[in-house]
């Protein structure tokens, strides 16, 4: 899971507190451009992972004159719930950690958007350098019953590129039936009869976080030292991106004495009824977003067309809120 060097010049000489935005994107280059434009500022850098299934050139063309925008070259074919998303995120984190000595890395999707001006976001993080913005609880407190079993006892087998193209299986007759029908290989069937043992205590939470670059480097060193065992476990873990980073963080926490774990700075709505989740926000959600706690700096998700009026309204609010 080694990441390549940053796509352009290294910034190790950067003396100031920096924000590294780690962007996972798979569509809508113009929407990603709008996000980058809204977040750009002094001491701000962007590291982009574009899903290997899509053409990266339209994204590169939009940022060809931006020296603070870097693309990950060894791209992953990102599939929902698959270890590929964890690998892509790790590559972004490692690229930022290699490039910038001091600051925070903020993981966002291409469908996130800020709720405050870039300057205020920068000040917010700079004033809270000893905080770890990540939802992180013991895994048994995040998921119960079958959901917990799927993540800890079963093996995930990805069958295609679609969101629902996967199986979660244990050593049972269902797995044998899948094998007899040719839906899983013999090698995977044999794997199912090995009891799963995590190499680290498991923690989980939202896959969107903001962590100091120094802490990410410690996590990367821990991963390097235990790569074989970590890959062997998390490669077959369903939605590993909601567990991997929390578990690595807690494994190295004794090395990061003095830090406090606080909730994520990103808001998403997973509660609304009768709509696809998370909610794609529209103009009628503006008042709701304006009433969020000040600790929620970003929201997702937005669509360039469906959310167009809302994005314009947020831009107007951000412009009015910008420091004089």
Q: Write down the pLDDT at residue 14.
A: 53
Question: Is the residue at 2 inside a domain?
Answer: no
Three-state DSSP class for 174?
Answer: helix
pLDDT band at 256 (very low <50, low <70, confident <90, very high): low
Domain count, the chain: 2
Compute the mean pLDDT over every residue in the chain, rounded to the nearest whole number.
93
CB atoms within 10 A of CB 189: 18
Q: Is the pLDDT score of 10 beyond 60?
A: no
Query: Which CATH number covers residue 239?
Result: 3.90.550.10
Q: Are 44 and 90 contained in the same domain? A: yes
* Interval 176-185 mean pLDDT: 91
DSSP state, residue 152? H
In the predicted structure, residue 68 carries a pLDDT above the cut 80: yes
pTM metric for this prediction = 0.93
Among 32-46, 161-175, 219-233, the range scoring the smallest mean pLDDT is: 161-175
Q: What pLDDT is recorded for position 15?
A: 57
Q: Residue 155 has what DSSP assignment?
A: E
Task: Quote the pLDDT of residue 301.
Answer: 96
- Both 238 and 168 in a single domain? no
Distance between CA atoms of 193 and 187, rounded to whole angstroms? 11
pLDDT of res. 5: 41
Residue 135's domain comprises 18-140+204-319
Share of the chain above pLDDT 70, in %: 94
Q: Tell me how far apart the alpha carbons of residues 48 and 38 are, in angstroms, rounded to a whole number.
A: 15
Neighbouring-strand partners of residue 113: 299
Same domain, residue pair 176 and 218: no
pLDDT for res 120: 97
pLDDT digits (tens, 9 = 90+) for 112-156: 999 999 999 999 999 999 999 999 999 999 999 999 999 999 999
For residue 218, what are the contacts with CB-CB under 8 A and spacing of at least 6? Answer: 252, 255, 256
Q: Return the sign of the alpha-carbon dihedral for residues 228, 232, 237, 239.
A: positive
Q: Check pLDDT > 90 for residue 270.
A: yes
Residue/partner pairs of 34-39 with CB below 8 Å, 24 or more apart: 34/304, 34/311, 35/108, 35/110, 35/112, 35/113, 35/114, 36/63, 36/66, 36/69, 38/113, 38/114, 38/118, 38/315, 38/318, 39/114, 39/118, 39/121
């Amino acid at each position: 899971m080694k990441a390549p060097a940053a796509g352009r010049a290294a910034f190790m000489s950067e003396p100031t507190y920096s924000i590294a935005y780690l962007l996972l994107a798979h569509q809508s280059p113009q929407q990603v451009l709008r996000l980058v434009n809204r977040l750009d500022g002094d001491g701000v850098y962007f590291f982009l992972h574009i899903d290997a299934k899509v053409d990266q050139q339209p994204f590169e063309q939009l940022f060809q004159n931006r020296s603070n925008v870097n693309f990950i070259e060894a791209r992953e074919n990102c599939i929902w719930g698959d270890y590929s998303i964890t690998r892509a995120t790790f590559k972004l984190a490692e690229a930022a950690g290699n490039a910038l000595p001091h600051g925070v890395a903020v993981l966002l999707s291409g469908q996130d958007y800020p709720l405050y001006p870039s300057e205020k976001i920068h000040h917010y993080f700079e004033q809270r350098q000893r905080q770890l913005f990540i939802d992180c609880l013991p895994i048994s407190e995040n998921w119960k019953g079958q959901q917990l079993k799927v993540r800890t006892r079963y093996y995930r087998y990805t069958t295609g590129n679609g969101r629902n193209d996967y199986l979660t299986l244990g050593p049972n007759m269902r797995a044998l039936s899948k094998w007899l029908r040719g839906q899983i290989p013999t090698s995977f069937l044999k794997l199912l009869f090995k009891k799963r043992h995590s190499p680290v205590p498991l923690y989980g939470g939202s896959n969107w976080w903001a962590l100091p670059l120094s802490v990410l480097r410690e996590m990367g060193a821990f991963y390097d030292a235990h790569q074989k065992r970590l890959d062997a476990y998390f490669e077959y873990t369903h939605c590993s991106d909601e567990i991997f980073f929390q578990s690595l963080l807690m494994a190295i926490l004794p090395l990061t004495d003095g830090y406090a774990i606080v909730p994520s700075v990103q808001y998403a709505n997973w509660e609304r009824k009768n709509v696809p989740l998370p909610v794609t926000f529209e103009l009628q959600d503006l008042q709701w977003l304006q009433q969020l706690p000040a600790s929620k700096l970003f929201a997702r998700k937005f669509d360039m067309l469906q959310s167009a009026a809302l994005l314009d309204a947020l831009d107007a609010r951000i412009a009015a809120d910008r420091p004089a």
